[in-house]
Amino acid sequence: MSLLLHGALLVVACSTVLCLYRIVMGPSVPDRIVAFDAFSTNLAAVVVLLVMRDGLVELIDVVLVLTILGFVGTMAIAKYIKKGDIVD
């Protein structure tokens, strides 16, 4: 199980890197937001995996927070992007 979790963490961490690639490369702002959203979801998964690996009950709140804030953040960015900002 621990090995599996370690592997899973590795894969998800790499997947996070891919999200980052999209955040950095865009090309458009909505691309970045989508990537950002995926990024935070991936991070939530990372945390859950960590929780499972170490049995740290205390960290589970972080998952909820990440999920919630991913949503809040996405909504906010989606609302406040300007036309001029959409395309780089």
Residues 26-85 that bind another protein (CB under 8 A): 26, 28-52, 54, 56-85
Least Å distance between CB 32 and another protein?
Answer: 5
Q: Count the residues of the shown chain that bind another protein, applying the rule CB under 8 A.
A: 82
Does 2 help bind another protein (rule: CB under 8 A)? no
Least Å distance between CB 7 and another protein?
Answer: 8
SS (H, E, C) the chain: CHHHHHHHHHHHHHHHHHHHHHHHHCCEHHHHHHHHHHHHHHHHHHHHHHHHHHCCHHHHHHHHHHHHHHHHHHHHHHHHCCHHHHEC
